[in-house]
Structure 1
Amino acid sequence: MRSFTNFCETWFVQLKHLVNQLYSAPRPPSTPDQHHHLLQLVHKLMSHYAEYYRVKGLAAERDPLSILAAPWATSLECSLHWIAGWRPTTAFHLVYTESSIRFESHIAEILRGMSTGDLGDLSPSQFRRVSELQCETVKEENAITEELSEWQDGASELIGECGDIEEKIGPLVSVIKKADDLRLRTVRRVLELLTTHQAAEFLIAAAELQFGIRSWGENHDRLRTDV
């Protein structure tokens, strides 16, 4: 598990580098080259997330209990976890929040009929499709949660178990992989509903939320250790 923790540290540094590139790219893109460049950066960031879940899946196969304990995360991050990671429906709350913030900041331009092209300029069709996707994701979340609950209900069988305990723990690997698959798939499907400009803003906002929570968590853990 130490190897995955080391991977996470390197991966997080690379994430900051990719987000800085995305943040520095012209938005909205005003030329075909700028649009292509922004799209490539979005794809690179998504590939970076996909690599994280690929390596995490391999680590879960070796030690699912340690993955659930998430030793690479801060106490604050762990308190917010749903099956060793962020809850997929968080993506929709982020879309709505960012859309509201940006709409309010550009309300004068929007009322004059100007198009900002950012997350504050989502169309009724986009909102409808995001809402539909949210409903689908909630159902999948609930199904995976129920699967984990069923495993936890049988935890008493682990006590004094004479059989192969690894066989009892094995189903956790499937639960973790399903949760991570839903996380990655949700982001991909959200991005499909957005323009390239909006997709870039969404990924930046998601990363900034992740950076902020980690920073607060590190400060809290440092203060707790110093007491």
Structure 2
Amino acid sequence: MKTPERTHSQIFHQFFDHWLVELGTSLEQLVSAANNHHNKSNDDSNLRQLIYESVKHYEEYYKAKADGAKGDVMAMFRPPWLTSLEDAFLWIAGWRPTTAIHLLYSKSGLQLEARLDESVPVLLTTGDLGDLSLNQINRVDELQKKTIRAERAITEKMASLQESAADTCMVDLSSTASEILRKNNDGDGEIEESVRTLNSLLESKEDKLEEVLHMADGLRMETLKSVVEILTPLQAVHFLIAAADQQ
């Protein structure tokens, strides 16, 4: 008996499961590095290597996602590998880029609060996200404004594409319905033809849908890298730990 071919969605789903396992391994390494860090140049070198590998891991995810979208872009917009909660907060087939910045601020506040609860003097730096400098905060603020503008542009492009597809479909349905009434028959053939036409119209939109997906994923990756670049190696490790915990 011939084994049925796997769909692009199934292939990506399998990749995603494997990717999550590797993410767990990366998370363990990051946590270990953060807990055992010493203020030495060789330690920073080790941290930078872990950061590089962690960021590369996310890049591999988006490359695989782009490959999957070429075969079935609609599957990327209704991912069966996400939980119901994740699906509810989905923004163009993924997490909203500004979420990375919100996560940074949240983790920074939590680490600073933990230091105060432990009666650690505020002036005593620990090198984690509770030690963001004024310059770093200003850079993150500028990044947030830039990212919000980019998000809005992509959201508007997506909305325009959805409206275009909906308008085209409604015109076609209206035309078919009128033809059925004019001929005064049951319209089964016309309805079937209408469904085929609608499917064809939707397929014609897939290239543009794939383009919007690439824009959204590109912004997600760009925002992640920009946050990491603003931070010190140890801070970046703490941020990547928080990011991995969200998966």
User: Under a length normalisation based on structure 1, what TM-score does the superposition of the two structures give?
Assistant: 0.87
SS of match in other structure, 1:29? coil
Where do residues 62-81 of structure 1 align in structure 2 (5 Å cutoff)? 62-81=71-90
Q: Distance in 1 between matches of 2:215 and 2:161?
A: 14
Which residue number corresponds to residue 60 of structure 2?
51
- 1:26, 1:34 within 8 Å by CA — same for their partners in 2? no
1:199-219 per-residue CA deviation (whole Å, 9 max, x = no partner) reads: 000000111122xxxxxxxxx
The answer on 1:182 being equivalent to 2:219 is: yes
**Which residue among 152, 156, 160 is the counterpart of 1:150?**
160
Q: What does residue 225 of structure 1 align with? A: none
Trace 1:153-164 onto structure 2 (pairs within 5 A).
153-156=163-166, 157-158=168-169, 160=194, 161=197
Structure 2 residue aligned with 1:168: 205
Displacement of 1:115: 1.3
Cα deviations across residues 175-225 of structure 1 (Å, max 9, x unaligned)? 101100000100000111000000000000111122xxxxxxxxxxxxxxx
Cα distance between partner residues in 1 of 2:67 and 2:214: 10
1:82 aligns with 2:83: no
1:99·1:122 contact (CA, 8 Å) conserved in 2? yes
* 1:10 corresponds to 2:18: yes
How far apart, CA to CA, are the structure 2 residues paired with 1:78 and 1:201?
26
Q: Equivalent pairs: percent with the same residue?
A: 41
Deviations 1:120-160 (A, max 9, x none): 01011111110110000000001000011001102221454
Taking the aligned partners of 2:70 and 2:138, their CA distance within structure 1 comes to: 38
- Counterparts of 1:198-217 in structure 2 under 5 Å? 198-210=235-247
Rounded to whole Å, the distance in 1 between the matches of 2:208 and 2:34 is: 46
Q: Residue type of the partner of 2:211?
A: S
1:33 paired residue number: 42
Within 2, Cα distance between the matches of 1:191 and 1:110?
A: 26
The alignment yields a C-alpha RMSD, in angstroms, of: 1.5
Mark the CA change 1:9 to 1:116 in structure 2 (over 3 Å): closer, same or farther. same
Tell me, in whole angstroms, the C-alpha distance in 2 between the residues paired with 1:103 and 1:10.
Answer: 35
Uncovered stretches (5+) of structure 1, i.e. residues with no partner: 211-227
Aligned to 2:120: 109
**Larger CA Rg, structure 1 vs 2:** 2
Q: How many angstroms apart in 2 are the aligned matches of 1:114 and 1:149?
A: 49
Unmatched 5+ residue regions in structure 2? 1-8, 173-193
- Contact kept, 8 Å, 2:69 with 2:76, in 1: the verdict is yes
Amino acid of the structure 1 residue aligned with 2:203: E
Q: Secondary structure at the match of 1:25?
A: helix
Aligned length: 209
Please report how far the alpha carbon of residue 168 of structure 1 lies from its aligned counterpart in structure 2 after TM superposition.
2.2
Q: Is the 8 A contact 1:148 1:175 kept in 2?
A: yes
CA apart distance, 1:100? 0.7
Aligned mates of 1:26, 1:66 — CA distance in 2: 37
Instruction: Tell me how far apart the structure 2 counterparts of residues 65 and 110 of structure 1 sit (CA, whole Å).
Output: 53
